[in-house]
A = this chain, B = another copy of it.
Amino acid sequence: MLHFSNSLTRLVGELKKLPGVGEKSALRLAFHLLKHPDNIDALAESLTLVRERVRFCSVCFAITEEDPCWICSGERDASTLCVVEEPQDILAIEKSRAFRGRYHVMQGALSPLSGVTPAELRIAELMKRLEGGEVREVLIATNFSVEGEATALFLTKLIKPLSIRVTRLAHGIPIGSDLEYVDAATVQRAVEGRSEL
């Protein structure tokens, strides 16, 4: 930032910490903000608000302003528990309107290479919830990445001995897909999981 302004240099430094924002984008964002001073105020204020009000739900570890969150304190089916990696995964499942149970956010996925061991995840808290005896099915909705699959396998091995049903989201052809563009592994899973019409 040369000698323009120390506070601008500092802002650019903070913006650069955001994912997908490099030096050039950070500069562009900073100069954009300078041209829209009202946006600076509103952004600073909303950051402070988030910092003050948003916390993790002490039951499911989703994001919430009231603890427990609206799902945990609501009338949702307590016998099915959907395990996700991150709070935003809940959004994806809620949008589908296909699940009426409760959630448990792992806050990550197992990744020994990046130093994420079971202790870093909310596994102990999950096992504690399952001890209650109310949950009869755990739907594992971790991502279909190496880390997500490893986490799913790890959880399955932990939960099965408790005589709780463990399920996983189905693989298959995405809605609206052209078959010719779908990868072979997905088609294979779709054939294996075919359903009666």
Contacts and interface: CB of A to CB of B under 8 A. Distances in A.
Contact of A43 (B15, B86, B90): B15
Interface stretch (A5-13, A147-155, A156-164, A183-191): A5-13
A43 B14 contact: yes
A173 B40 CA distance: 40
Interface in A41-89: 41-44, 46-54, 62-65, 69-70, 86-88
Contact of A37 (B15, B51, B53): B51
B88 A27 contact: yes
Contacts of A28: 19-20
A51 B44 contact: yes
Nearest to A47: B44
Nearest to A7: B49
Given A5-B53, A11-B43, A14-B39, 14 more contacts: A5-B65, A8-B50, A11-B46, A11-B49, A13-B46, A14-B42, A17-B43, A18-B33, A20-B28, A33-B47, A34-B50, A34-B87, A37-B51, A43-B47
